[in-house]
Amino acid sequence: MAKAECTPKWNTLALRNRKTCPTPEKSFQTTFTPVSKDKNSQTAGHLAGGDTQSSNGPSGQFLARESIESPSKVLLMLVAGLSFSTRLYMITEPPHVCWDETHFGKMGSYYINRTFFFDVHPPLGKMLIGLAGYMSGYDGTFPFIKPGDKYENQNYWGMRGFCATLGSFLPIFAYLIVLELSNSCTAAIIAATLLIFDTGCITISQYILLDPILMFFIMAAVLSMVKFNQQRYRSFSASWWLWLVLTGINLAGALGVKFVGLFVIILVGLNTIWDLWRLLGDMSLSLVDIAKHFLARAFALILLPVILYVTIFAVHFVVLNKSGPGDGFFSSAFQSRLIGNNLHNASMPEYLAFGSTVTIKNLRIAGGYLHSHWHLYPEGVGARQQQVTAYLHKDYNNLWVVHRQQDNNSQSGNPDLVRHGDIVRLEHKETTRNLHSHLHEAPLTKKHFQVTGYGINGTGDANDLWQVEVCGGRKGDPVKVLRSKVRFLHRATGCVLYSSGKTLPKWGWEQIEVTCSPYLKETPSSQWNIEDHINPKLPNISLSVLKPNFLEILLESHIVMFRGNSGLKPKDNEMNSKPWHWPINYQGLRFSGVNATEYRVYLLGNPVVWWINLASLGLYLTMVAVASIATQRGFSLGQQRIGGGLLMLGWLLHYAPFFTMGRILYFHHYFPAMLFSSMLTGLTLDILFRSADLLLHPPYSYWFQRAGQLLLLFSILYSFYLFHPLSYGMTGPLAHEPGSAMADLKWMDSWEF
């Protein structure tokens, strides 16, 4: 209903004050060059709805910004109200852990408990969740073990409410962005309506997830960017600075929640480059002015976000100072920071000796411990001997015993120290096999040799012998625990023990490959350090490990995160969601509940909304193609410029990269792109309705416009009424069984609610 009131009002108002303020042109728009005046005035009539007295050429875009504000404010309140009420409705249902809440809720708790953990995403999102939980009285004791666990008396509503609040801002931002881009309330209200009544957006906002937080920052960044573009004629004014800095802050926020935030950074970056290019071509500006512009943007959009992003990590490391489940992913030096870790204020024998039990850690970042276990290499992969891998977690199978070449176990007195150039035999403590290598291809890195566990109880062969070499050391230097970088040279083949960083397939339990490399260059992959060192015959000394500085920690944690991200490969039997499934709403995600008796929530977009979006993308492209060919041929459509280029680019940037990703993908990855797509729909449909007078005469075209808007509103509302149980929960038999209330709604066979 709101739409119907909006358009005529602002049109007339616009005409009255049309000289007050120019609507600046926007970047990324299709430009329509105005041509001969008489042609234009014939066709430009539809520009302002039913008013035939409209302007011609560029003056058609003159519009009074102040005058739109009163109706748009009312509408904005309406959007906000609807948005909050749909997101916060039944926020505490279901009262158990849903889907990925098991991860992000748990990580929120870790912040409250200050326990160190490892996650593939940057920390801001989880920090905010933790903060929200802390403020609302959650004490961090709930274990979040698996989806479906009952919350009982825990205060989980705070965390959910926080996410839902951020999620409620999305339609509001969409409304404002579209309003800025098009100056049309109708377009803005269409975009907002699509988002408010989309079941998918509601569902994803209602739980403890990173997505609402991420999307909040993405949309806020886009909004500030668009607002900043509007300030173009008031360079270096207060509001210009405000929006510029806000853009930078939101970019840092987006990247701080998930690396997907990178896409919006690229969007803003392209927009900025475009903007600078425009300034460069403006001959009224001196080079000094342009340099000022450039520096201002470099400060606000590069320097400021970097500082903020680094600050987030600083807070992360300061808050999490207790040892926890993520320790093994990090280097020995890093671990020594954590209270409760065995390396924190460590005390152990200082020099490596024969007969010691040790763990050996690769120096490559996230390199893992040298590991072996009771499993053989499968047939066809080198010799069928016991596997040797690198493993990131702490485990009994990481323990190795250092022996002499010829072992005389009955040694009394102080054991001899291992020195640079000594020949050792490394025996796996659990399985008593020796670390062994031979001239077989390694499983993945074919240029290297295979490393296995061989022999039993210390008896092996000549291929079990390794020469210890301290990097930068001379013959006779002892090996310092934790501090010396050690290489193990294979005696028989001359190769060096190496961790390739490649993940072994299933038979290797997805641990990391260990090989023997014939290339003797010193790289962290071929260097190891002794981490734990147990030798009862030697006195323990307290060691203060070199504490890493902040930049090293930052770099290390990023490399670990990237490794973790690319390591998330789809499993063989898992149903994998493909990017082309997403825009057609092919398949949703089960958030909670499997059986008929359980309370089920299913993440699936409102099909009507999504299919309208899909159609609008095609429609938009057709409209742009037709319009630009016509202009190129010299016709004028007199059409108002469409601000959709930016949104189209946003959609592409948030969608296309997924096609090239090797990691496992889920349906919810599409939601940021869906936001852009919905905003684009608002613009496109608005233009479409208003183009009616190309075919129809004024009263009819006006009716057509109204009818189209009403039909759209009605279909969105009705489909929301139909599909709302997807978000707010349903019980009863599954939809593919007869007798289910949802049976008629299973429009696609692939939906599983």
Partner 1 sequence: MLQLPLVVTAQVDLLLVLVSLLAFWTRLSHLNYPNAVVFDEVYYGQFVSLYMKRVFFIDDSGPPLGHMILASGAYLGGFDGNFVWNRIGAEYPSTVNVWSLRLLPALCGALCVPLVYLLTLELKFSHLSALGAAVLLLLENSLIVQSRFMLLESVLIFFVLLAFFSYLRFHNAPSSSWSRYSWLILSGVSCGAAVGVKYMGLFSYLLLLVVASLHTWKLIGDKTISHMNVCVQSVHRVLCLVVVPVLLYVFWFYVHLSFLNRSGPHDQLMSSAFQASLQGGLSRITRGQPLEVAYGSQVTLRSSVSQPIPCWLHSHKVNYPIRYDNGRGSSHQQQVTCYPFKDVNNWWIIKDPGRQQLVVDTPPRPVRHGDVIQLVHGMTSRFLNSHDVAAPMSPHTQEVSGYIDFNVSMPAQNLWRVDISNREAESEVWKTILSEVRLIHVNTSAVLKLSGVSLPDWGFRQLEVVADKLFKAHSSSLEWTVEEHRYGTSQEQKEREAELHSPTHIDVDRKISFWAKFVELQWKMLTVKQEESEHKYSSSPLEWITMETNIAYWLHSSTNAQIHLIGNPVSWGVANLSLLAYQLLAVVYLLRRRRGLKDVPDGVWDQFVCLGCVCVGGWLVNFVPFLLMDKTLFLYHYLPALCYLYLLSPALLEHAHTHLLSSVTHQRALCVGALAVLLSIFLTYRTFCPLTYGSPELSAHQLQGLKWRDTWDILYRRR
Q: What is the DSSP letter of 381?
A: S
Residue 148: name the closest of 109, 112, 105, 115 by CA: 105
Helix (H) or strand (E) holding 215: helix 211-230
Binding to partner 1 (CB under 8 A): which residues in 402-441?
441
Of residues 635 through 674, those in contact with partner 1 by CB under 8 A are 660, 662
By the rule CB under 8 A, 744 interacts with partner 1: no
# binding residues, partner 1 (CB under 8 A): 27
277 binds partner 1 (CB under 8 A): yes
The closest of 208, 200, 205 to 151, measured between CA atoms, is 208
Q: Is 573 in the site for partner 1 (CB under 8 A)?
A: yes
DSSP string, 135-158: HTT--S-----STT-B-TT---HH
Give the span between the Cα atoms of 648 and 571, in whole angstroms.
Answer: 33
Q: 408 or 660, CB closer to partner 1?
A: 660
Select the residue interacting with partner 1 from 1, 281, 410, 506 (CB under 8 A). 281
Q: Does 286 bind partner 1 (CB under 8 A)?
A: no
Torsion of CA 474, 475, 478, 481, to 10 degrees: 60
CA–CA separation, 420 and 438 (whole Å): 23
- Selected from 135, 280, 694, 707, the binder of partner 1 by CB under 8 A is 280
CA nearest to 470, candidates 386, 363, 347: 363
Would you say 15 or 444 has its CB closer to partner 1?
Answer: 444
Does position 634 interact with partner 1 (CB under 8 A)? The reply is yes
**Which segment (101-109, 175-183, 313-321, 745-753) binds partner 1 by CB under 8 A?**
745-753
Tell the smallest beta-carbon distance from residue 645 to partner 1 (Å): 17
* Dihedral (CA of 599, 603, 609, 611) sign: negative
Identity of the residue, 314 or 656, whose beta carbon is nearer to partner 1 in the bound complex: 656
Give the N- to C-terminal CA distance of the chain in Å, as an integer. 32
* Residue of the chain from 445, 450, 511, 535 that contacts partner 1 (CB under 8 A): 445
Residue of 19, 474, 633, 697 interacting with partner 1 (CB under 8 A)? 633
Q: Is 522 in the site for partner 1 (CB under 8 A)?
A: no
Cα–Cα distance for residue pair 23/232, rounded to 1 Å = 10
**Minimal distance in Å, beta carbon 351 to partner 1?**
35
Nearest of 727, 725, 715, 716 to residue 745 by alpha carbon? 725
On the 0-12 / 13-18 / 19+ scale of CB atoms within 10 A, 647 is buried
Minimum gap (Å) between residue 744 Cβ and partner 1: 17
Among positions 51, 510, 552, 752, the unique one binding partner 1 when judged by CB under 8 A: 752
Interface with partner 1 includes 575 (CB under 8 A)?
yes
| Closer to partner 1 by Cβ: residue 238 or 283 | 283
Contacts of 543 (CB under 8 A, 6+ apart): 346, 347, 348, 350, 481, 482
In terms of Cα–Cα distance, which of 438, 443, 447, 577 is closest to 510?
443
Any contact of residue 2 with partner 1 (CB under 8 A)?
no
Which range of residues in 175-183, 424-432, 445-453, 489-497 is near partner 1 by CB under 8 A? 445-453
The residue from 314, 737, 741, 747 that contacts partner 1 (CB under 8 A) is 737
If binding is defined by CB under 8 A, does position 632 make contact with partner 1? Answer: yes
Per-residue binding letters, 587-606, with partner 1 (x by CB under 8 A) = x-------------------
Binding site for partner 1 (CB under 8 A): 277, 280-281, 283, 287, 441, 444-447, 519, 572-573, 575, 587, 629, 632-634, 660, 662, 734, 737, 748-750, 752
